Amino acid sequence: MSKIKPEYVCQSCGARFPKWTGRCGHCGEWDTLVEKVLETKKTWVASENHPQSLGAITVHESEERWVTQVHEFDRVVGGGIIRGSVGLLGGSPGVGKSTLILQLLARLAKNRLKVLYVSGEESANQIKHRADRLLIQQDKLLVLIASNLEQILDCLRADQPDFVVIDSIQTLYTDQLTASPGTVSQVRESAGVLMKHAKQTNTGVMLIGHVTKEGDIAGPRTLEHMVDYVLYLEGEKKEQQRILRSVKNRFGTVNEVGLFKMTAKGLVEISKPNSLFIDRFLSTHPGTAVFSAREGSRTIFLEIQVLVGDTQQNNPARTAMGMDRNRLQLIIAVLEKHLNMNFSHNDIYVNLAGGFRVFEPAIDLALMAALLSSHLNVALPEKSVFFGEISLTGEFRSVSGMEERLYESQRCGFKRVFLPAQSLKPSGMSNLTIEVNPVRDIHELREVLA
Ligand code: TYD
Ligand code: MG
């Protein structure tokens, strides 16, 4: 197809330009110019063009779900992939997106679904090597090495797969645009065309996208709004654990997570998460605390590591990996105010071990305990678990899932738990053998380290 002359449209004011610039010459907004496809084809049929009553609409094949039987995956997408839905799977390079997808496709193919894996990133040889390594059944799995959208669409029309995965959306380009692959306009246009195809033909589509360091799907954050579901695969390359998180789902809940570990034979489901992590918590050093996090219907234990060091800098470091930096700032402010401490000459680094991310405020008590422990250079009592939210007045507040966190700590062999005093029911709880230490406020927490 011959290239057509591009035109750029400001997404803010709608002004049009023949050339791309960083700033709109009309309204002055930055970074709002997007390439526009000039060719206008009539894409609708007159007979479809009148409104109908909602009651007259018959739902056919409603909510047919494809179950992959990878339970950790199925649960995250709400019981299976909905036929004809379009999803996005994000994750940093090397985290295991292609591995996960190949394993899922093999399962779906085994269940007699016609699946197609389109790769613009790797050669057929590389994919074959990976499939060999994963010991998956390969004869029903179709593979296409391509990155041209028109070529892929031709293939989809000819082969009519039930489910197609594009690895990755950043490698795609359409002849309709002159911009290079990976740019916002290419990614958006390609995704838009694929989505239209998906909805017209009831084909399931999953787009894989690399995320940048900031955690956005590089460039095309707008895709998140277009698709039916968005999943992220998290974890650190050098660590085994992987967590699959749903951040958007038009067909189900978004607070479930799936847990996997990366092995020599690919991703393996973890159905009893804590048996894998428990060994790590046996030794305690100053600056570490164990937090029991709630992820969907699961309780997971995570190690928080804090380093408080002296600094000569005017602007001491406040670094938080795996959690909200504002949360850290708040905790420092509360400690300074209510315990009369001064961290203005201290760099503070926080890391959540294993590449996990936690955004629930229940982490406050554990984070504070680790921070105080590092600052005072005193280790916390061994085999302890911490959870609770701090208020600005320095008191700890109860959090959701209290009983689950408590009983799971006991089941996993922890000896004691520190939790907000106000969360304890007067009637008490039955069958508790773990030592329960209610903490009212940060003064009481300080005493734990005395
Ligand atoms: P990959 O799926 O290629 O990551 P992504 O598509 O997200 O970029 O996985 C990359 C890493 O996983 C790579 O460093 C090798 C490792 N790996 C295993 O440890 N075991 C395996 O069975 C496979 C296939 C990969
Ligand atoms: Mg890949």
Model confidence at 62, in pLDDT bands (50, 70, 90)? low
Whole-number pLDDT of residue 45: 58
- Note whether 299 and 405 are within 8 A (CB): yes
Q: How far is the CA of 115 from the centre of ligand 1 (A)?
A: 21
| Pocket lining: 220 vs ligand 1, CB cutoff 6 Å | no
pLDDT at residue 420, as a whole number: 95
Q: Is the model's pLDDT at 223 over the cut of 90?
A: no
Ligand 2 centroid vs 90 CA: distance in angstroms?
A: 10
Q: Concatenated DSSP letters for 183-240? A: SHHHHHHHHHHHHHHHHHHT-EEEEEEEB-TTSSBSS-TTHHHHSSEEEEEE--TTSS
Short-list 405, 403, 447, 393, CA closest to 424: 403
Task: Give yes or no for residue 238 CB within 6 A of ligand 1.
Answer: no
SS3 content of the chain, % helix, strand, coil (to 5): 30, 30, 40
Q: How far is the CA of 200 from the centre of ligand 2 (A)?
A: 28
Distance 167 CA to ligand 1 centre (A): 13
Q: Over the stretch 180-217, which tens digit does the pLDDT of each residue have?
A: 887 788 888 899 999 999 999 999 999 999 886 555 55
Using the mean position of ligand 2's atoms as its centre, give its distance from the Cα of residue 193 in Å: 22
CA 122 / ligand 1 centre spacing (Å): 12
Looking at residue 276, what is its pLDDT? Answer: 54
Ligand 1 atom with minimal separation from the 167 CA: 6
Q: Any idea which ligand is nearest the CA of 263?
A: 1
**What is the token pair recorded at 363?**
């982490």
Nearest to 383 by CA among 286, 289, 311, 305: 289
Q: Amino acid letter at 433? A: T
Q: What value does the mean pLDDT take over residues 6-32?
A: 80
- Cβ 348 under 6 angstroms from ligand 1: no
**Is the pLDDT reported for residue 394 higher than 80?**
yes
Q: What is the pLDDT of residue 224?
A: 85
Answer whether residue 46 shows pLDDT above 70: no
**Does residue 133 have its Cβ closer than 6 Å to ligand 1?**
yes
In ligand 1, which atom is closest to the CA atom of 237? 14
CATH topology identical between 65-271 and 276-448: no
pLDDT, average across residues 173-180: 86
**Tokens standing for 148?**
């041209």
Distance CA 367, CA 362 (A): 9
SS3 138: coil
Instruction: Give the mean pLDDT of 104-110.
Output: 94
Ligand 1 pocket, 215 CB below 6 A?
A: no
CA angle 253, 354, 296 (to 5 degrees): 20
pLDDT of residue 118: 97
* Residues forming a β-bridge with 9: 16, 34
Quick one: CA dihedral 77, 78, 80, 81, positive or negative? negative
% of the chain exceeding 70 in pLDDT: 88
CA of 216 to the centre of ligand 1 (A): 21
Calpha distance 24→423 (Å, rounded): 54
Q: Is the pLDDT of residue 361 over 50?
A: yes
Q: 307 forms bridges with which residues in the sheet?
A: 349
CA 9/CA 15 separation, integer angstroms: 6
> Which residue's CA is the nearest one to ligand 1's atom 16?
96
Ligand nearest to the CA of 234: 1
Ligand 1, atom 11, lies closest to the CA of: 94
Residue 89 CB–ligand 1 contact under 6 Å:
no
Main-chain dihedrals φ then ψ at residue 428, nearest 5 degrees: 75, 175
Distance between CA atoms of residues 40 and 406, nearest Å: 61
What single DSSP character describes residue 56? G
Q: How far is the centre of ligand 1, averaged over its atoms, from the C-alpha of 366 (Å)? A: 33
- The pLDDT tens digits for 232-263 are 998 877 788 898 988 888 887 777 788 899 99
> Which residue puts its alpha carbon closest to atom 9 of ligand 1?
96
**Cα 316 from Cα 343, distance rounded (Å):** 9
Over 50: is that where the pLDDT of 101 sits?
yes
User: pLDDT class for 398, splitting at 50, 70, 90?
Assistant: very high
Token pair in block for residue 212: 């940048």
Of 95-104, 171-180, 201-210, 367-376, the poorest mean pLDDT is in 171-180
The 10 Å Cβ neighbour count of residue 233 is: 23
How many CB atoms are located within 10 Å of the residue 357 CB? Answer: 16
Give the mean pLDDT of 311-317: 91
Residue with more model confidence, 169 or 256: 169
Residue 63 has pLDDT above 80, yes or no: no
Task: Compute the Cα dihedral for 420, 327, 300, 302 and give only its sign.
Answer: negative
User: Taken in order 149, 151, 152, 158, is the CA torsion positive or negative?
Assistant: positive
Using the structure block, give the residue that is written with the tokens 């991310």.
357
What's the whole-number average pLDDT of the chain?
86
Which residue reads 């203005």 in tokens?
A: 344
CA-proximal residue: ligand 1, atom 2 (nearest): 96
Burial of 251 (0-12, 13-18, 19+ CB in 10 A): middle
Which structure tokens are listed for 368? 């504070």
Q: For the ranges 16-30, 266-280, 412-426, which has the lowest average pLDDT?
A: 266-280
Give the containing element (helix H, strand E) for 275.
helix 273-277
Return the best residue to mutate from 208, 244, 262, 267 for the ligand 1 pocket (most ligand atoms within 8 A of CB): 262
Give 124: exposed, middle or buried? Use CB within 10 Å, 0-12, 13-18, 19+.
exposed
Evaluate whether 353 touches 280 at the Cβ level (below 8 Å): yes
**Atom from ligand 1 closest to the CA of residue 208:** 6
The verdict on the CB of residue 242 being under 6 Å from ligand 1 is: no
- Mutate which of 97, 98, 99 to test ligand 1's pocket (most atoms within 8 Å of Cβ)? 99
Ligand 1 near 130 CB (within 6 A): yes
Res 413: pLDDT? 83
Check if 97 has its Cβ closer than 6 Å to any atom of ligand 1: yes
> Would you kindly state where each structural domain of the chain is located, as residue ranges?
3-40, 65-271, 276-448
Decide if pLDDT at 4 tops 80: no
Q: Which ligand is nearest to the CA of 96?
A: 1
Q: What pTM does this model have?
A: 0.73
User: Which range has the worst mean pLDDT, 233-247, 269-283, 305-319, 392-406?
Assistant: 269-283
Q: Which CATH architecture has domain 65-271?
A: 3-Layer(aba) Sandwich (3.40)
Q: From the options 3.30.230.10, 3.30.390.30, 3.30.460.10, 3.55.50.30, give the CATH code of 276-448.
A: 3.30.230.10
Asked whether 388 lines ligand 1 (CB < 6 A), one says: no
Closest to 210 in 3D by CA, of 247, 262, 166: 166
Rounded distance between C-alpha atoms, residue 413 and residue 288, angstroms: 18
Identify the pLDDT of residue 125: 94
pLDDT at 275 over 70: no
